[in-house]
Amino acid sequence: MNVSGNNGLLVNSDMNGEVLSGFQKSENGPELSSPTLSHRDLFSLILLTALFFLVYGPTIEWLIQRWSLGVWYHPHGFLVAPISGYLAWQTLQKYPDRVPSSFGYGFLLLVPALFLHIIDTALRSYLLSSISLVLAITGLSLLLLGTGRTRAIWFSLGFLLFMLPIPLGMVEGFRAVLQHITAVFSEHLLNISGVFVYREGNVIMTTRVPVTIADACSGFSTLTAMVFISSLYAYTGISGRWLRIFVLIISVPCAIAANTVRSYALILLILQFGVGILDTWVHSASGVMTFMLAFFLIVSITRGVSRIFAKKI
């Protein structure tokens, strides 16, 4: 039902009885006026923000500590919140919703989030509290922005999951698997290249020295970083749901392939210049090149597949 008054203000009342105002008539149709926060709303927002950080302050501190463990763990966690906030802000700037309205079902996420936080307070694992943090932010989005705007920023909210570090117990398991895969593929590449080597577990026996595929060379950090970057690339640079899913899928084998090439190249350098090469800038630079190679593979394969399907269509 639309009711127009003498002052030119258009009030739109929907079937559920919500009243959405803030549009004014113009020759080109209704335009969105800039809503302003009242002093009371501003005070409530500041109070809510302070309460949020009071409750989740220890959890945020723990997350920062985990992100700071080293480049081989979860350093991209520092980037997640700023990127998520920027993407949400960009989306909300162009979102055609009229005036954000609260949605009470946000409590369906807030209550379980607080319950998880209380449990974690007793367990002191901080992992449950970290999950609670993401749930709480989503619940607050429903309460403050409503369903329409929350649905619009779904990626920004889901992207917050990259803040959560993988439990250390699981990290060791993943690393063991990746170490074995890297050792096996490196052995095959070397033998195909005419360099005779054989493998004993994760140790590649060369004619000069045995080379161990250590934890830092497992490619775990490359893998997690590539999944992180690929999700961002798929959302911002790729159109089409299935192609986006494809990007996420190939990020795993591309990361493993890039890390295998790194190990292969380092072993060749060791055979040529000696094991001391690992104590130079070359070792660190090879890690950076691994990230670049993995992302290059992801982009190249994605563009190739996109062109193939475009020609068929």
Write the single-letter amino acid at 155.
Answer: F
Tell me the per-residue pLDDT of 203-244, one tens digit each, with 9 for 90 and over: 999 888 899 898 888 888 889 999 999 999 999 988 888 999
Tokens of 1: 């039902």
Q: In 3D, which of 249, 76, 84, 265 has the Cα closest to residue 159?
A: 84
- Report how far apart, in Å, the C-alpha atoms of 285 and of each of 39, 128, 186, 268, 290 are: 53, 36, 19, 16, 9
Residue-by-residue pLDDT tens, the chain, 313 positions? 444 444 433 434 343 433 333 334 434 444 444 445 566 666 767 888 888 889 999 999 999 998 888 766 777 889 999 999 999 999 888 765 555 566 677 888 989 999 999 999 888 888 899 999 999 999 999 888 888 889 899 999 999 999 998 887 788 888 899 999 999 999 999 999 999 999 998 999 988 889 989 888 888 888 999 999 999 999 998 888 899 999 999 999 999 999 999 999 999 999 988 888 888 898 888 988 999 999 999 999 999 998 887 755 4
pTM over 0.95: no
CA distance 182 to 186: 6
Residue in 227, 219, 228, 270 with CA at minimum distance from that of residue 250: 227
CA distance 135 to 158: 10
Tokens 């096996």 belong to residue: 184
Beta carbons of 251 and 230 less than 8 angstroms apart: yes
Query: What is the pairing mode between strands 210-212 and 2-4?
Result: unpaired
Which 3 state secondary structure label does DSSP give 240?
coil
